[in-house]
Amino acid sequence: MNIVDMLLTHAPALTIAIPLLGAFLTPLISRVSEKGRNIFAIITVGITALFVFLMASEVLSNGPMTYVFGSTAATVQQSTVIRILFEVDALSIFMAIIGIILSFVAVVYSYAFMEKNTGLDKYYTLLLLMTTGMLGMMLTGDMFNFFVFLEITSIASAALVAFWTNKAKAVEAGFKYIVISTIGALFVLFAIALLYGQYDALNMAKIAQSLGISGFTFIDKIALVLLIAALAMKGGLAPMHMWLPDAYGRAPASISLLLVGATQASLYGLFRIVFTVYGDVISLPSISIGWILVLLGLITMLIGVIMAIIQTDFKRLIGYGAVAELGYMALAVGTGLTIVANADPNITLETAPFAMKAITGGLFHVINDALDIGLLFLVAGAVYYATKETSLNKLGGLARNMKYTTIFFIIGLLAVSGLPPFNGFASKLLIYESTYQLNPILSIVAILSSILLLAIFVKVLHSVFLGPALPKYETVREVPKSMLLAMAVIAGIIIVFGLFPQVIVTNLVEPAANALVNNSGYLQWLTGGF
């Protein structure tokens, strides 16, 4: 009892500290043995996963959990104390579960995928650093701490995107990614400085309380616009999405998987700021601010799908598919925001219940999209490992030699395009039905994009796996077992989420949606004194 309780109270800090310690121990261990370092990385991520699930069981039953780095008293002699507070509520733990599943699968997949490369000690160090940054972004309750973890994640992931330095395109993609990330992060810092200058607080809950007292001034509007634009750029919403196919398409496949998690962590930051920090004041007099997210989501879906049909490179095509899926999330949460952030007192959540369903659908789509697009990236990596070829025009007839990979690709294809009985259908059904009630055109565009996504991936299936047997691929064998195991774990989760969606939605997604819409749970420690 005692040891579990002690681990539970320190779990938020340990979730960040264990991968960080593992990242800096990896070069030391790799001097001793190579296989030992790979096993050490898997064990580190496994222990972090245990802590995340321990926190999940606590947060989902007892409410938000806080952890303070600094003084436990809120004020000392009537002046506020400088400290960093981690606040884990249902939305944070939902995103952390996604992040740690993606990280674990990436590390298991890298065991065999990256085996023939040199410089692997740097690879595993950067991968564990990226896990730290991602989890830190999701668990923190302090704005400047969010910026620091955002920068850690972007630096580690830019170095990993450019990992294959012998290829010119990978280095170019890494350069473009770090330029875009830095500009986004600098504008986030500018907005954080504006908010600090107004309210003398860096804590998200304290800023939310001060905003509620003082109202929506002009400087707050500027800070909100800067934050939305910068975090939307980091989250891959059009028309600022163009770095995404470059970075996802040229990185190693396991890193593309983690980059999906990092992009969704930026979208989590956007939702947290718009709903929780600005929750009480965000209402413009004539039109709701949620229409920004709805329009960005619409444009993202259309551009992503239309650009994907004409691609000839395997992973770049999946990258454009990922852009389209991000549009779904923005569309769904934006639909909810148009009702929540409405200045008209007659339109509330009770009179428009589709808003809650829209936010639930959007958040459920976050985890479904991470799993589906992740599985497709892993299959692309497996095909690259077996044939050293990425162009769709040159591949063909691989289903004869790689049977399991084909089955996983078919599962990923059906899940991404939203066909029953997989998990994509459940979340997309929520999105279609709830956005229809805001405006029918939104639902029509969403269904059209789903059909085009099916068309895109059937094209890939035809080109890569079906077709006549090419003579140069006769010696291609199935990929090693650890890669198949990683793909099987994700395919298993996809099937389980598809067959029992109500269990997941009631226990994981609806608490997260409630925590997003109603920020009193986030602010409760301010009055309780902590």
Partner 1 sequence: MIANIPYLAVAGLIIIGLYTLLFKKNLIKMVIGITILESGVNLFLITLGYRMGSVAPIFTGNADNPVMSYPVPQALTLTSIVIGVAVLALMLTLVIHIYRHHGSLHVSKLGGDDQ
Partner 2 sequence: MIEMMLETFETGTGYWHPLVWLVAFVIIFLIVYIIRGFGEKKYKKGTGQTQAFLSGNKEYDKQLMHVQSSNLYWGWTEALKWIIDVLKKMHTGNVSDYVLWFVVVLGVLLLFVGLM
Q: Which of 33, 57, 312, 520 binds partner 1 (CB under 8 A)?
A: 312
Which window, 4-12, 186-194, 276-284, 357-365, contacts partner 1 (CB under 8 A)? 186-194
Rounded CA separation 374/319 (Å): 10
The least distance separating partner 1 from the CB of residue 389, rounded to whole angstroms, comes to 15
**27 interacts with, out of partner 1, partner 2, none, CB within 5 to 8 A per kind:** none
Nearest to 363 by CA among 135, 153, 97: 97
d(Cα 379, Cα 68) in Å, to the nearest integer?
A: 42
The residues facing 87 across adjacent strands are 66
Residue 180 is a binding residue for partner 2 (CB under 8 A): yes
Q: Examine residue 425 and tell whether it contacts partner 2 (CB under 8 A).
A: yes
Of 19, 22, 136, 174, the one binding partner 1 (CB under 8 A) is 174
Residue 158 interacts with partner 1 (CB under 8 A): yes or no: yes
Q: What angle do CA 215, 362, 139 make, to 5 degrees?
A: 65
List of residues 6+ apart from 47 with CB closer than 8 A: 18
Verify binding: residue 148, partner 1, rule CB under 8 A. yes
Please pick, from the candidates 6, 73, 183, 451, the single residue that binds partner 1 as defined by CB under 8 A. Answer: 183
Piece in contact with partner 1 (CB under 8 A), picked from 31-39, 84-92, 311-319, 365-373: 311-319
In the bound state with partner 1, the residue whose beta carbon lies nearer, of 2 and 79, is 79
Nearest approach in angstroms of CB 299 to partner 1 is 20
> In angstroms, what is the minimal distance from the CB of 136 to partner 1?
14
Prior bond to 239 cis, omega within 30? yes
Verify binding: residue 396, partner 2, rule CB under 8 A.
yes
Is 345 strand, coil or helix? coil
From the list 187-195, 217-225, 401-409, 484-492, the region that binds partner 1 by CB under 8 A is 187-195
> Which of partner 2, partner 1, none binds 158 (CB below 5-8 Å, type-dependent)?
partner 1
How buried is 172 (Cβ within 10 angstroms: 0-12 exposed, 13-18 middle, 19+ buried)? Answer: middle
Q: Does 392 bind partner 2 (CB under 8 A)?
A: yes
Q: Does 182 bind partner 1 (CB under 8 A)?
A: yes
Q: Is 172 in the site for partner 1 (CB under 8 A)?
A: yes
Measured between alpha carbons, how far is 436 from 99 in angstroms, rounded to an integer? 31
Q: Which amino acid makes up residue 428?
A: K
**Any contact of residue 386 with partner 1 (CB under 8 A)?**
no
- How many other CB atoms sit within 10 Å of the CB of residue 77? 5
Among positions 50-89, residues that touch partner 1 (CB under 8 A) are 82
Give yes or no for residue 162 binding partner 1 (CB under 8 A).
Answer: yes
CB of 159 to partner 1, least distance (A): 6
Q: Tokens 């890669």 belong to which residue?
A: 483
Binding residue (CB under 8 A) for partner 2 from 176, 485, 510, 524: 176
Are 519 and 275 within 8 A, CB to CB?
A: yes
Per-residue binding string, partner 2, 220-239, x by CB under 8 A, is: -xx-xxx-xx--xx-----x
Residue 148 interacts with which of partner 1, partner 2, none, CB < 5 to 8 Å by class: partner 1
> Is residue 493 involved in binding partner 2 (CB under 8 A)?
no
Q: Contact between 164 and partner 1 (CB under 8 A)?
A: no
Residue from 17, 47, 275, 227 nearest 136 by CA: 17
204 close to 258: Cβ distance less than 8 angstroms: no
Cα-Cα end-to-end distance for the chain: 24
Q: Is 122 in the site for partner 2 (CB under 8 A)?
A: no
- Residues 277-296, interacting with partner 2 (CB under 8 A): 284-287, 289, 292
156, with CB counted inside 10 A (0-12, 13-18, 19+), is buried
Closer residue to partner 1 in complex, CB, 122/400? 122
| 75-76 and 65-69 strand pairing | unpaired
Give me 359's structure tokens: 């936010």
Smallest separation, CB 156 to partner 1 (Å): 10
Q: Which is nearer to partner 1, 156 or 386 (CB)?
A: 156
Distance CA 340, CA 516 (A): 10
How far apart are alpha carbons 95 and 272 in whole angstroms?
Answer: 12
| Torsion sign, CA atoms 506, 507, 513, 514 | positive
Strand-pairing partners, residue 140, are 86
Distance between CA atoms of residues 264 and 102, nearest Å? 11
CB 255 within 8 A of CB 303: no
- The footprint of partner 1 on residues 236-255 (CB under 8 A) is 246
Q: Of the candidates 118, 310, 471, 475, which one interacts with partner 1 according to CB under 8 A? A: 310
Residue 68, Ramachandran bin (φ over 0: left; ψ between -120 and 50: alpha; else beta): beta
Q: Please check whether residue 341 is in contact with residue 282, taking contact to mean a CB–CB distance below 8 angstroms.
A: yes
CA angle 231, 140, 321 (to 5 degrees): 40
Please pick, from the candidates 73, 451, 455, 520, the single residue that binds partner 2 as defined by CB under 8 A.
455
* Residue 129 binds to partner 1 (criterion: CB under 8 A): no
CB 443 within 8 A of CB 432: yes
Among 83, 122, 176, 394, binds partner 1 (CB under 8 A): 176
Residues that bind partner 1 (CB under 8 A): 82, 144, 148, 151, 155, 158-159, 162, 165, 168-169, 171-176, 178-179, 182-183, 186, 189-190, 193, 196-197, 202, 246, 310-313
Residues that bind partner 2 (CB under 8 A): 175-176, 179-180, 183-184, 187, 221-222, 224-226, 228-229, 232-233, 239-240, 242-243, 246, 284-287, 289, 292, 303, 306-307, 309-310, 312, 353-354, 356-357, 361, 392-393, 396, 420-421, 425-426, 429-430, 433-434, 437, 455, 459-460, 462-463, 467-468, 470, 498-503, 505-506
